[in-house]
Structure 1
Amino acid sequence: MTSERTLQSVIDSLGERGDKTALVDFDKKDRHCWSFQKLSACARAFANGLVRQDFKRGDTIALFAENSPEWIAAALGIIRAGMVAVPLDVQLGERTLGHIIQDSEARAIITTRKRVEWIERLDLEEKPKPILLDAGEEDWAEADWKRFLESEETELPTVSCGDEAVLFYTSGTTGPPKGVPLGHGNITAQLDTAAEVHLITGGDRVLLPLPLHHVYPFVIGMLAPLALGLPLILPFSLSGQQLLRALGEGEVTAIIGVPRLYSALYSGIEARVKSSGWVACKLFRVFLAASGFARKWVGLRVGKLLFRSLHKRFGENLRLLASGGSALDPELAGKLEALGWQVAIGYGLTETSPLLTVKLPNKSPPESAGKPVAGVEIRIESSAAEKKEHVNGHEVGEVVARGPNVFRGYRNLPDKTDEAFTENGWFRTGDLGYFDDNGELQLLGRLSTLIKTESGEKIQTEDVEAAYAEESAIREIGVLGEKGKLVALIVPDRASSDDGKDAVRKAVE
């Protein structure tokens, strides 16, 4: 499945939705709605303004601000103008930010007033032109993004599906972040996938609580719903109160989230139940077990009925929790489903735009990562392992992939690009896994975190970390290999004991 469309045509089609709501943006007290017509017109006007200000096709423009309708319109405008959007994390350190701006060669940076002085302090030979989403004052009038909103039609550059559309930067664990350019064809292939799996459909309203500098919220959380004509709900903040407000008032039916969000959601529910007394705790556990049993063995979904008061609190329309970005604990997924919600999980990487596999509600075993999406080929490269290994008779190796969603290579890093692909062009994900009898992908961890002990046993450090993280005395833990032995760096949870050192020692014995 190769998409010949570009995001330019996708953006142009948004206006065809007319007055239908595209964005619902919550501020501290009120909410503001943008129609598809308004969003499309604003994106087109910004594209016109960029071209009139002598920005060229292929120029890179960074976005360094929190989520907002203006941020979304600006990003769409950059792409519509044939330029490359570079979404940045607002929490980047000064050194990392400077590296990314220099590496991306950003000609302009869309940001806010409070960040301008910080950007000006960066040690750069050539600083990007600031464009402010909140200029307001006379001092900043020249940098006001509204000055770029040119309603007069301008001939905009056209692009091909192979041209770059968005440049993401992945977190660097052993070095500076790497630039991952995704082309128009890469992303439109993912939009086609989102439409084909029918996970979100015509009547859905999608909560987007994630920052847009990651590929998962940018493509799956923002572009896919908009391309399907669905409204996005933008919460004011990630506090429990504001999320509940957005869920209820926004009449949300689906959340695009990450495991940490769903873990916090379930912990909050559990804490509320515990505060209600032992009777409530007992009933909660009984209902949860009964709902899980009915769903697993009888195929009945009774969670919404058993937990009616919970669904009233979170919004009776909410049905789907979509998780990506990292692995969702199967036990947590089962609990959320027992509570009456559907859970969908996507697996992929920034380099794959991002989805490689999708696990649809009630379609796969709990531990599975799902099946490859249409157009994507995945195979297991056993040569990546030191010796051939099998699980339940299935060959284990590195998960490698190819398809229209896979990027072509890192920006300015030809050696890293060569390392990322096999000789015959398959992308190396760096994940260990195998396919089971039903064609479901089972993941076993990262190759880079696999440690071989003195005895020759191979241990996945992520599993060890997850096990010890359950101990109340441990707040954070990192497991490393040192001369064939496991060692750990531990941050104690001081709230759990007066003597953190002794508590941690007991936890790891």
Structure 2
Amino acid sequence: MHYLTTLKELFQQSVEKYPQATFLEIWDGEKYLSFTYQEIFVLIKKLVAGLANQGLKSGEKIALLGENSPGWVVCYLAIVCGGWIVVPLDKELKPKEIAKLIKFSDVKIIFVSQALYLKLERIKRNNYQIYIFNPFLKGDDDLSQLMVEEPPNLYIERVVKKDDLASIVFTSGTTGAAKGVMLTHYNFVSDILASMERIRLLHKDRLLLILPLHHTFSLTAGLFCPMCKGASIVIENNKNRVLKVFQEKHPSIFIAVPRVFELLYNRIEAEVKKQGNWEQWTKGISLVRKIKKYTGINIGKLVFSKLHKQLGGRIRLFVSGGAALPPAIAYKYFNLGLPLLQGWGMTELSPVGTILSYHKLRFYFTHYYEKRVASIGPPLDGLTIELIDVPERGLYANLGEKEGELVVTGPMLTPGYYKDEDANKTVFFSLNGQRWFKTGDVGKKDSEGNFYITGRSKYVIVTSEGKNVHPEEVEEALEQSPFIQESLVLGHKEHKKELVVALIVPHAQYLKQYLEQKNLSFTWENIYEIIYKEIKQNVQQIASYKWPCDFAITEYDENTGEFKAFEKTTTLKIKRDLYKFSSFYSYRSLKKGGWRKIFFKKL
């Protein structure tokens, strides 16, 4: 298998080995639709021929906007198998954000699902074509009209090489703060093959996919890895149906972000209480813990056999990624006899970088995973991770300290950011003839070679849903208000969740003028009222997961008549490390309405 170098080769191998095996399944609102590898392959060949007839040259970019579906998968695979480049877009982005990405990435064609076409209707068209696709491949769309019965060997003649770009993945919503991560065919394939060695996914496995495929973790772990083994994938976009899908389709593998696992567990507990079995449930948990503690044997599967049956009876492994998994959540699943492992990675690594190997006997008969519950595991085969000094945080790995910034090199590492040489110069460096990447994550390594993430040196905020939020982008939106002179967007931990919050320096002069015109006094209540409304208005232009949940205003200096500005470096950059957001019991969400009169605290 290791001779594979492109996604086209990887897909074709599965089609040749398992032509009649079920590849994709999805609920269409009335029944489950099922597609074999051969059926999807036939559609892909027709679409490749149709795109080739449009005169598209190899290496042209094609955007893909839609919910998870067989239609999305066919579009993606046709693009990469035809030698073009996919630009997958987040369906939660606003039209303005989508327009920026389309323009920046030089897109020639956009595939959009029927449900999301309205977002593109509001965008002024500029040198690109739009094709609407039916997510269920029912043949009543532009996609089916574009497909043609290919001339002999046209699909085969579309040459794809290992170092050709397969995709440009944007890590956030705009080109200002966001970066377009370029990923080659071999970046993906090397990561897929190494991941398969680690988690041992099998042809007989059935994976439940709920994470959006524009997210590289979902794309690689949720689509490409099972595809590599000819396994089947059940697609479900409605999170309220997850338990029902477990019962109906009996998946053996489930990947998700920590927040999904938290919600799933809460849903299970709520169902237990509803059925009046809470006392029996807590006694079962206590029994499993005691036996595990003293013997190393996990009897969770036996004690909670009814739950396992309700989850389909075939669960083999849960995998968490996209954000740090709180150990408390992992322990909860361990107690139920359900192995939940976390991996680590980033888009720049295609994206999986590390994960512990899963061994059934280790999980059920030893303390192995409990002792390593906070670990992200060792690097995948082919990936090298080292720790370097982080002077600004007082970490000196080369002087014998335990922590440092993770730097990586390997075949899954991106060739760089699209049209962003400044960013490339900042994060890539050469050492001993190898090209290394600074991850921005701070961590440590144990004697076995397992890594642990202890913090972030970059300022990207990773929410509990695994969404990356770039502070600069949110700040840009906030500072469009004449009443906001400066803003600082931070990640803030509240109840074990990473929240987006903002510190605001109001523009005193404009505020005073406005309040005077309205015959209102210069009071904190009026100031917060205005800033609140301005924030609420200006964040409408960005996706809702980027909105600050709360905000605070800096101190007002009576002597100068100004609000205190943030301290800056000689190059006028805010010294972000000096600031944090205060925690109060009176916390109220901006999304729900309301504000609170607090000030920021300096570390």
Is this a same-fold pair by TM over 0.5?
yes
In 1, Cα distance between equivalents of 2:2 and 2:15: 25
Judge conservation of contact 2:81–2:160 (CA < 8 Å) in 1: no
For residues 143-192 of structure 1, the C-alpha deviation after alignment (integer angstroms, 9 at most, x for no partner) is 34443243433433212211101111101699442111100110000121
Structure 2: which amino acid aligns with 1:343? Answer: L
Q: Is 1:377 paired with 2:372? A: no
Q: Is 1:339 paired with 2:336? A: yes
Judge conservation of contact 1:376–1:404 (CA < 8 Å) in 2: yes
Judge conservation of contact 1:465–1:477 (CA < 8 Å) in 2: no
| Secondary structure in structure 2 of the residue aligned to 1:107 | strand
Give the match for residue 190 of structure 2.
189
For residues 219-241 of structure 1, the C-alpha deviation after alignment (integer angstroms, 9 at most, x for no partner) is 110011011110001125221xx
CA shift at 1:264, angstroms? Answer: 0.4
Q: Is 1:487 paired with 2:581? A: yes
2:494 is aligned, of 451, 460, 465, to 465
Indicate the larger mover: 316-325 or 349-358.
Answer: 316-325
Judge conservation of contact 1:23–1:234 (CA < 8 Å) in 2: yes
Judge conservation of contact 1:82–1:159 (CA < 8 Å) in 2: yes
- Specify the structure having the higher radius of gyration (Cα): 2
In 2, Cα distance between equivalents of 1:400 and 1:306: 43
Judge conservation of contact 1:469–1:477 (CA < 8 Å) in 2: no
In 2, Cα distance between equivalents of 1:266 and 1:41: 40
Contiguous gaps of at least 5 residues in structure 2: 461-489, 500-547, 555-565, 568-577
Structure 1: which amino acid aligns with 2:580? Answer: L
Give the TM-score taking structure 2 as reference length. 0.72
CA shift at 1:125, angstroms? Answer: 3.8
For residues 240-271 of structure 1, the C-alpha deviation after alignment (integer angstroms, 9 at most, x for no partner) is xx212322221211112111110100111222
Give the match for residue 301 of structure 1.
298
Q: Is 1:360 paired with 2:360? A: no
Structure 2: which amino acid aligns with 1:265? Answer: L
In 2, Cα distance between equivalents of 1:501 and 1:256: 38
Judge conservation of contact 1:170–1:177 (CA < 8 Å) in 2: yes
CA shift at 1:70, angstroms? Answer: 1.6
Give the match for residue 398 of structure 1.
405
Q: Is 1:409 paired with 2:503? A: no
CA shift at 1:116, angstroms? Answer: 3.4
Judge conservation of contact 1:84–1:164 (CA < 8 Å) in 2: yes
In 2, Cα distance between equivalents of 1:305 and 1:480: 54
Q: Map residues 268-279 of structure 1 onto 2, 5 A cutoff.
A: 268-277=267-276
- Distance change (3 Å), C-alpha of 1:153 and 1:488: farther
Give the match for residue 259 of structure 1.
258
For residues 436-493 of structure 1, the C-alpha deviation after alignment (integer angstroms, 9 at most, x for no partner) is 222111111111359xxxxxxxxxx8684345889xxxx9568999664533488945
- Distance change (3 Å), C-alpha of 1:35 and 1:388: closer
Report how many residues are paired.
Answer: 479
Structure 2: which amino acid aligns with 1:214? Answer: H
Q: Is 1:18 paired with 2:14? A: no
Q: Map residues 47-446 of structure 1 onto 2, 5 A cutoff.
A: 47-123=48-124, 125-126=126-127, 128-134=128-134, 143-155=142-154, 156-171=157-172, 175-235=176-236, 237-239=238-240, 242-277=241-276, 280-295=277-292, 297-361=294-358, 362=363, 363-364=368-369, 365-388=372-395, 394-424=401-431, 425-446=435-456
Identity %: 28
In 1, Cα distance between equivalents of 2:61 and 2:202: 33
In 2, Cα distance between equivalents of 1:434 and 1:11: 37
In 1, Cα distance between equivalents of 2:252 and 2:28: 20
- Distance change (3 Å), C-alpha of 1:163 and 1:343: same
Structure 2: which amino acid aligns with 1:180? Answer: V
Structure 2: which amino acid aligns with 1:266? Answer: Y
Structure 2: which amino acid aligns with 1:432? Answer: V
Judge conservation of contact 2:195–2:225 (CA < 8 Å) in 1: yes
CA shift at 1:95, angstroms? Answer: 1.8
Judge conservation of contact 1:61–1:109 (CA < 8 Å) in 2: yes
In 2, Cα distance between equivalents of 1:236 and 1:368: 30
Judge conservation of contact 1:3–1:161 (CA < 8 Å) in 2: no
Structure 1: which amino acid aligns with 2:5? Answer: R
RMSD across aligned positions (CA): 3.4
CA shift at 1:119, angstroms? Answer: 1.6
Contiguous gaps of at least 5 residues in structure 1: 451-460
| Secondary structure in structure 2 of the residue aligned to 1:54 | coil
In 1, Cα distance between equivalents of 2:237 and 2:404: 44
CA shift at 1:360, angstroms? Answer: 3.4
CA shift at 1:347, angstroms? Answer: 0.3
Structure 2: which amino acid aligns with 1:286? Answer: K
CA shift at 1:405, angstroms? Answer: 0.3
In 2, Cα distance between equivalents of 1:52 and 1:108: 13
For residues 1-44 of structure 1, the C-alpha deviation after alignment (integer angstroms, 9 at most, x for no partner) is 99761112112223211211111111212001101111111112
In 2, Cα distance between equivalents of 1:357 and 1:52: 42
CA shift at 1:105, angstroms? Answer: 1.0
Give the TM-score taking structure 1 as reference length. 0.85
- Distance change (3 Å), C-alpha of 1:402 and 1:119: same
Judge conservation of contact 1:43–1:74 (CA < 8 Å) in 2: yes
In 2, Cα distance between equivalents of 1:463 and 1:477: 10
